[in-house]
């Protein structure tokens, strides 16, 4: 009964948090206007001028469109919008009749004033994928699937309600990330497997792997002179007033630690769970036998999980790899290019933490479960 109450409370926490995400209002003092985001549907295109040269080598596209606002305080209102953009892949928003778009609506005390097309609406398809994911988790995993969903919701809460706000407030990114990771691992193992020896083994193994990842990340980032400013996003963040005097290297290290967390947790739980099953299957299992069994499981998982990490980071960096290949840079330049070095170091540290966690988890599991009838 207690477990069911805990699960229900955690579920309510997740849903109550998610229900507050969709509201997006912002005061725009310089124009004495307020801004709200809303969805809209393109009903008609009145006028369209494509690729007008506004200056040498710069082409502008112009559309005058009729849009019906389909959400928010101005729902049902039909408005005319001027949509102009230059030919720049990734930034141009060329709309057609029937397209669903995201609008920035400006208003004051007298009501609606103006609106702009910000982007296309994509949340419908995201929610569809979330629904498929949740349905499969519940159909296949049943109670375990429900626990997995709740632990995922708790992870989301810790990251977006605790970790990121604390880093933004100026706390040490590495320390905040390690503490957040410990909380995530503890709650996840407690929800999925309860307060058992298996959970304790997996938790301690995960903690050891994360500490190793943090130490390695700090050492390598210093000796390799990583700045944390290799990506466009990090450079943009550097110019945010709150981060003007901030050490961006700490955020890079936080990303490395957090990226290693999921894989390390997976491996540690696999080893601890397998060791417990073996201990339950036989009587008076010795420490040596259980440790060897745990290592065998860990070695099998290691081969596939290291590939998982490398493939995940490679997939995220694919545009960068293609760009570097297009310019045919020599290997000596590539291996020392900070943006690529960041990704290589991130993948290697995550893999090292994963591998190191295997014998630690196997040792702790065997120690806790030996001589178990």
Residue 143 burial by Cβ neighbours in a 10 Å radius (0-12, 13-18, 19+): exposed
Q: Which helix (H) or strand (E) holds 28?
A: strand 25-28
Give the CA angle between residues 240, 241, 244 to the nearest 5°: 85
- 207: its two tokens: 């903690």
The correct CATH number of 32-121 out of 2.60.40, 2.40.50, 1.10.10, 1.10.3470 is 2.40.50
Q: 135 CB contacts (<8 Å, ≥6 apart)? A: none
**How many of the other CB atoms lie within 10 Å of CB of 126?**
9
What's the chain's Rg over C-alpha atoms?
26
Give me the pLDDT at residue 143, please.
87
Q: Is the dihedral of CA 91, 93, 99, 103 positive or negative?
A: positive
Domain ranges of the chain: 32-121, 170-369
pLDDT, tens digit only, all 373 positions of the chain? 444 444 444 444 444 444 333 334 455 554 578 889 999 999 999 888 876 666 666 677 888 999 999 998 999 999 999 888 776 666 678 889 999 999 999 998 888 889 999 999 999 999 999 999 999 999 998 888 898 899 999 999 999 999 999 988 888 899 999 999 999 999 999 998 888 888 999 999 999 999 999 999 999 999 999 888 887 787 887 777 766 567 788 888 999 999 889 889 989 999 999 888 888 877 677 888 889 988 998 888 887 888 887 888 788 788 888 888 888 888 888 888 888 888 889 889 988 999 999 999 999 999 988 764 4
Q: What pLDDT does 142 receive?
A: 87
Helix 248-281, helix 338-369: angle, nearest 10: 30
What is the reported pLDDT for 309? 79
CA–CA separation, 357 and 43 (whole Å): 57
Sign of CA dihedral 319, 325, 328, 330: positive
Instruction: Give the distance, in angstroms, between the CA of residue 105 and the centroid of all CA atoms in the same chain.
Output: 29
**Residues listed for the chain:** 373
pLDDT given for residue 39 in this prediction: 95
Q: Where are the alpha helices (DSSP H) in the chain?
A: 2-18, 123-157, 164-168, 173-193, 197-223, 232-238, 248-281, 287-316, 318-326, 331-336, 338-369
Answer whether 131's CB lies under 8 Å from 156's CB.
no
CA gap 223, 175 in Å, rounded:
20
* Cβ neighbours of residue 273 closer than 8 Å, sequence gap 6 or more: 193, 198, 202
Helix (H) or strand (E) holding 79: strand 78-86
Tokens found for residue 166: 């604390």
Cβ 370 vs Cβ 287: under 8 Å: yes
Given this model, what pLDDT does residue 243 score? 66
Question: What are 26's two structure tokens?
Answer: 């912002």
Provide the CATH topology of domain 170-369: Multidrug efflux transporter AcrB transmembrane fold (1.20.1640)
Phi, psi of 362 (to 5 degrees): -60, -40
181's CB contacts (< 8 A; 6+ apart) are: 210, 257, 258, 261
Give residue 16's pLDDT: 42
């Amino acid at each position: 009964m207690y477990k069911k109450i805990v699960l229900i409370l955690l579920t309510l926490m997740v849903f109550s948090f998610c229900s507050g995400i969709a509201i997006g209002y912002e005061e725009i003092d310089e124009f004495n206007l307020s801004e709200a985001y809303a969805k809209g549907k393109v009903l008609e295109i009145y006028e369209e001028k494509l690729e007008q040269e506004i200056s040498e080598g710069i082409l502008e596209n112009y559309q005058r469109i009729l849009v019906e606002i389909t959400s928010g305080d101005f729902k049902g209102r039909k408005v005319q919008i001027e949509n102009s953009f230059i030919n720049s892949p990734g930034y141009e928003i060329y709309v057609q009749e029937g397209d669903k778009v995201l609008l920035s609506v400006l208003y004051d005390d007298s009501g609606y004033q103006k609106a702009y097309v910000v982007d296309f609406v994509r949340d419908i398809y995201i929610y569809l994928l979330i629904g498929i994911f949740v349905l499969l988790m519940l159909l296949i995993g049943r109670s375990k699937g429900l626990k997995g969903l709740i632990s995922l919701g708790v992870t989301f809460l810790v990251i977006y309600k605790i970790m990121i706000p604390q880093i933004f407030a100026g706390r040490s990114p590495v320390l905040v990330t390690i503490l957040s990771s410990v909380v995530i691992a503890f709650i996840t193992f407690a929800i999925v497997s309860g307060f058992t020896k298996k959970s304790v083994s997996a938790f301690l193994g995960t903690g050891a792997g994360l500490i190793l990842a943090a130490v390695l990340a700090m050492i390598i980032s210093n000796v390799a002179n990583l700045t944390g400013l290799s990506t466009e996003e990090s450079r943009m963040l550097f110019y945010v007033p709150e981060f003007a005097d901030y050490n961006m290297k700490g955020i890079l290290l936080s990303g490395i630690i957090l990226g290693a967390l999921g894989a390390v947790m997976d491996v540690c739980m696999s080893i601890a769970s397998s060791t417990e099953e073996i201990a339950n299957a036989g009587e008076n299992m010795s420490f040596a036998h259980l440790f060897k069994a745990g290592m065998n499981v860990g070695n099998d998982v290691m081969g596939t999980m290291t590939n998982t990490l490398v493939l995940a980071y490679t997939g995220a960096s694919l545009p960068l790899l293609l760009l570097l290949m297009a310019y045919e840079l020599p290997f000596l330049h590539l291996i020392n290019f900070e943006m690529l070095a960041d990704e290589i170091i991130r993948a290697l540290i995550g893999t090292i933490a994963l591998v190191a966690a295997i014998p630690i988890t196997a040792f702790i599991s065997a120690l806790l479960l030996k001589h178990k009838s």
